[in-house]
Structure 1
């Protein structure tokens, strides 16, 4: 009787428990159907759309563009937000693949998109911790899904979507492809993504040159790029390296002997070194963008029929130009330049040293400024460019090509005298130097009466230049300037004031250097640029600079102008006599604007043309600023050094 009662009681208890379980299950099913199923369906649809929208190229992301000097050494890398170099699966060292699989997902090649065991463990943790993720468990495929498509919120919703995207990725790509995507897209700290960029960043070599210990050291970083940052927290990185080596040994990727060698190897960081130079970078980037604009078919213009036409052009130009800048920063080009970093340093040092006595600053940037450009006359290429003084704070204004200033008398040879020689004037032509009502004054209001053009140029007489320019007409004189692509010559400039460089906007040192380099080549103009060639991220040469020439001045007129300008340095009355070069034949013209706001020295040898400008960004008087003082000294110091060991020779006579 007692047993029967107990049996009935047990059955009743079991029945009650079963009812409770069924009731709870029903509640869970109803709850899931009402609350979770719509979310699950939505997440599944979203995952499907995301994966369907991508292609193999999606995982290439932004690639780092490299800038090279004349010796093919890296000057700097250019990237918008992250430093990344993509490697195909076959180019990723096997030890790199093994290291990541061993430490991140040892059964990667055995399971599907996700590990059931690991994810049940994570889901249990989520339930236990009220919707918060407190531990890992993501496969390599899940990590890729999170890195490419999701944020790092630790919620069940994000975890479910991560799994769904992983399933879709696993259906679309092979295991090898997914591992390739993963290794190329993970974060290695310091804005560096992918193992190749990391290898260059921290060891200054390609990852196929790394040993096992170095590979595991890099593999340690992505687990927590801040905690394992090798620059700031190298001891943390080393501890995880050791953990990865142990994992590789346990999983039979390496032998005991390999482990012992690697664990005892002393890691020595050798960060990628750049000759990084903000002036070179900004100028090269500008040059390269204009190359891409041409390749895209953009039609450059400098004359417009109406203001509306000009405004529309400027907007189109800005849109295309900025698009090309972004393209360069994001798509892994190799930009090879003519920049000679030794000459670059000489030019920068010459400018800095000469102006070292002017210490006034504005927000960490020196107030008195300068810029300089040096061109190889043989190629017409810019080999050095200085956009300002080396300041305590980084200065982004490259005055060598971005700042337009009044050129003063340095404009005369280009717009007045060389064109005049093509009109029949000679160096022996006599002009009466006198003050003309409404015209310019000579320096010190001193007038020479009848004087030859040769001596008028060498002593920089304003009245003579004014008269000659009036004779040949501004339209004729400025046509040569326009033909050399000076970019800010506008219709308001076609007046007699232009004879002395009185322009609406002005000119840049790059433009002036290209003009004087044209004289040095006997009148043949070459578009000034520092770009040799550009290679895209597929290794294809998309641009090769042929340094094409076009005749601007007649050879005889150019030679005559050069011969006169030699006297500016050689004769005691010449305005540049005090900065003449020792043992090097050269020619030069000084330029100083009203109230000594701008000082120029434009000079050249048969080898190089160098132009120097000095002044304040907001024009104002500078004590003792003339073309032959600060600009001339900078020019002299640089040119004397770059000609060291060079055989002296004269300019070619036609």
Structure 2
């Protein structure tokens, strides 16, 4: 009994010492322990996600990748895998596991190996949120006390859910949702058992156990997890055997991008950072919805890229990327093995739809190539015959006759699939931009800032100020209409040769082509893009008045040269600025502000930002003869916005604003009508008087509601097309990033026949096709617009030669629109004398720009 008493006394003393030690330890660290109640309102750092208007993900920004999930959204086997591996008694202990700690102590005592941890899931959560990973006893003590406190504040399920969303799992993936995406490109409910086990094995050492870095390590750790799941009866023997036999196949996946719009995404990123700062923007889980619709954006990207391919093919093949071996007789370099070729191709970075390939064999009119995935493809003659030799931007070699004229075995080339077959291709050197917006609100519908964002992040749609060429002319003609000209006014289309005594030079603006029609109506001159007529109209209005008028369209005065070259397009604007300017014509005279962010939600799904666009609202002005109340104006604007938006209940912003009127409705209407002639021309072809406008290719859309204008600068350094109706306006630009490089000309390629376009590169040939193919998709669901003729506009029959009134009802006359009160007052007289013009107007600078 004496020994039993001694043992009891010792146990009591030990218990008292333990209690005293715990109390002392708690007293020592209590002031350093954070308030675990913060976990009740914790906000996990989640990246900013950017969506299209139709809910497609276009990008994700943030250092930490996280996809927060509730416990109910996680597969039961995933939860079981973590419990079996990390904390099998999670639902039994109070935050720390005495049995686990004793087991770990025995392992350390017997093997001196401290690799086996004893931290519960709650302790790991405490460490991840409040502590560091330093291996010190004091940190372990703090961890245990925090775990106990956490267990008092949160339920077991809340702790487990927070842990599974917080845990770091490598490659910047935090939480199981992000890990499933990063390693397998799946959501958690799509994971197989072996993939679940790989993820559950990562917390021990995510940097060395992840399947991307070390498939072997991941496999070994996976099998340990599966073994523990089998021991815990979470899986059957059959499931275990199938999972351990599964191969480890993983690669690093980015976010599940479903809409390709990187230039838009970058615009959004910059704007959100400006609004909220980097820390909040990248970690608060913002969901940003844009004005972009995926089908339209996809069409813009495809159209721009295909147009650059077409330009590139017109100008010839610049040769292979490299020659890996030579097939010439007597060459000592052997052909590479398949493994060597595939290893080489694996090191090459693909761009857009261009794939790297190596030529294996060349026959008479085809070639066999191998791609990076090991597939061999045959390039037929149709895939090769375009590739005559590129000499320079102005010259190309002869059309090839044999495949050997183009390719040889051992060449590293680029190929792409054109929808029908694989064809030889190359990375375009020319650049391009395409912008489209809703003229009623300024909402950007599509924007592409270059061939590839991966190749160049420079956004040519918003950052590249380029000379606009003849796309400036509608604005010059609009100024002329404000100063007494009409669409029937006669202007002399004749060469200008004016000596500037001050500069000591002669200014000779030329038409392109150099055809001069003599006396010509303003409508026809605009449709044919007559340069000298534009100069004469500028002279008639005056440079100061013209610049003041152009400023109304949102153009900065610093971008508008104060000389007569302004009339030919020497102004430098970005494609987005030009698009916004054309929107004034499209919407009837209102200046809208382009925007791309529609609304922003926080992580809880609460709306924290809603853009309030300035809306073009003619009805708001017409429905009141006296000043409107703010409430009435907002009600009308809200109704207009409801008619424009597909989901007005969700998206309608409060406090809509009216866009300022900067141009009369009548002036905008007259310019729109004149630009329709740029598409459909005029005259009578049966009578030999028919003529085409510069945008005649747009006729293929078979729509009578489209107005358009081509533009080309001196030496074809910039080419443009701007086209619109009342519901959509778009601008396409093509040029080189080197503003001094000309787009040149393409000669006839006998191999392509009618499938090509030859001649000098210009707006109609180079930029318009991209706009046209884009609009085939963008306008397919937009009904043909039938706008009403605004009040104050009259229509009278005029003589097409003189612009005067006509009594004839044949091919010599046609109806023309006029601002009421400006109609001609005289009738055309047969045999009237020729026109007389005075060209004694000053010139200021020698510069030629043409269309």
Gaps of 5+ in 1: 1-39, 293-319
Q: Does 2:606 match 1:653?
A: no
Q: Does 2:581 match 1:515?
A: yes
CA shift for structure 1 position 619: 0.5
Give the count of matched residue pairs.
Answer: 572
Instruction: Select which of 214, 218, 232 maps to 2:199.
Output: 218
Secondary structure in structure 2 of the residue aligned to 1:143: helix
The 1:500/1:174 distance shift into structure 2, 3 A limit, reads: same
Give distance in 1, aligned partners of 2:679 and 2:189.
56
Give distance in 1, aligned partners of 2:116 and 2:104.
6
Q: Is the 8 A contact 1:350 1:638 kept in 2?
A: no
Instruction: Select which of 538, 552, 570 maps to 1:502.
Output: 570
Deviation per CA, 1:53-86, whole angstroms, max 9, x where unpaired? Answer: 994499534313333334323333x122221122
CA shift for structure 1 position 526: 3.5
CA shift for structure 1 position 114: 4.4
Give distance in 1, aligned partners of 2:546 and 2:197.
68
Q: Does 2:149 match 1:171?
A: yes
TM-score by length of 1: 0.73
Q: Does 2:57 match 1:74?
A: yes
Partner of 1:611: 731
Partner of 1:102: 84
1:456-495 aligned within 5 A: 456-472=525-541, 477-478=546-547, 482-486=551-555, 489-490=557-558, 493=561
CA shift for structure 1 position 109: 4.2
Partner of 1:454: 523
The 1:202/1:646 distance shift into structure 2, 3 A limit, reads: same
Q: Does 2:293 match 1:339?
A: yes
Secondary structure in structure 2 of the residue aligned to 1:443: coil
Partner of 2:68: 86
Give distance in 2, aligned partners of 1:125 and 1:489.
79
CA shift for structure 1 position 589: 1.1
Secondary structure in structure 1 of the residue aligned to 2:763: coil
CA shift for structure 1 position 147: 3.9
Secondary structure in structure 2 of the residue aligned to 1:528: coil
Q: Does 2:116 match 1:138?
A: no
Structure 1 stretch displaced more, 353-362 or 94-103: 353-362
Deviation per CA, 1:592-612, whole angstroms, max 9, x where unpaired? Answer: 222322111112245543211
Give distance in 2, aligned partners of 1:475 and 1:162.
78
Q: Is the 8 A contact 2:301 2:448 kept in 1?
A: no
Partner of 1:18: none
Q: Does 2:741 match 1:626?
A: no
Q: Is the 8 A contact 1:580 1:636 kept in 2?
A: no
Deviation per CA, 1:427-479, whole angstroms, max 9, x where unpaired? Answer: 12233453455567133676655433222222323343344345545565455
Q: Is the 8 A contact 1:352 1:390 kept in 2?
A: no
CA shift for structure 1 position 495: 5.3
Q: Is the 8 A contact 2:227 2:240 kept in 1?
A: no
CA shift for structure 1 position 631: 0.9
CA shift for structure 1 position 561: 0.7
Partner of 1:64: 47
The 1:647/1:118 distance shift into structure 2, 3 A limit, reads: closer
Secondary structure in structure 2 of the residue aligned to 1:618: coil
1:39-58 aligned within 5 A: 44=29, 48=33, 51=34, 55-56=38-39
Give distance in 1, aligned partners of 2:694 and 2:540.
25
Secondary structure in structure 2 of the residue aligned to 1:518: helix
Partner of 2:841: none
Give distance in 1, aligned partners of 2:697 and 2:192.
59
Instruction: Select which of 536, 561, 569 maps to 2:679.
Output: 569
Secondary structure in structure 1 of the residue aligned to 2:456: coil
Partner of 1:312: none
Partner of 1:350: 306
Instruction: Select which of 281, 298, 314 maps to 1:328.
Output: 281
The 1:122/1:247 distance shift into structure 2, 3 A limit, reads: closer
CA shift for structure 1 position 413: 1.6
CA shift for structure 1 position 410: 0.8
Q: Does 2:700 match 1:581?
A: yes
Give distance in 2, aligned partners of 1:511 and 1:360.
34
Q: Is the 8 A contact 1:289 1:324 kept in 2?
A: no
The 1:496/1:135 distance shift into structure 2, 3 A limit, reads: farther
CA shift for structure 1 position 397: 1.6
Q: Does 2:608 match 1:542?
A: yes
Give distance in 2, aligned partners of 1:406 and 1:544.
35
Deviation per CA, 1:220-246, whole angstroms, max 9, x where unpaired? Answer: 343333454355666765665554454
Q: Is the 8 A contact 2:52 2:259 kept in 1?
A: no
Gaps of 5+ in 2: 1-24, 322-348, 352-426, 501-506, 617-658, 682-690, 745-759, 791-851
Q: Is the 8 A contact 1:354 1:634 kept in 2?
A: no
Structure 1 stretch displaced more, 398-407 or 453-462: 453-462
Give distance in 2, aligned partners of 1:484 and 1:542.
32
Partner of 2:416: none
Aligned-residue Cα RMSD (Å) equals 4.4
Give distance in 2, aligned partners of 1:387 and 1:332.
27
Deviation per CA, 1:92-138, whole angstroms, max 9, x where unpaired? Answer: 566544432331022334445544565577678889999x9544333
TM-score by length of 2: 0.58
Secondary structure in structure 1 of the residue aligned to 2:288: strand
Structure 1 stretch displaced more, 88-97 or 336-345: 88-97
Partner of 2:172: 191
Greater per-residue helix proportion:
1
Partner of 2:431: 369
Partner of 1:403: 464
Give distance in 2, aligned partners of 1:378 and 1:406.
26
Structure 1 stretch displaced more, 330-339 or 608-617: 330-339
Give distance in 2, aligned partners of 1:646 and 1:65.
33
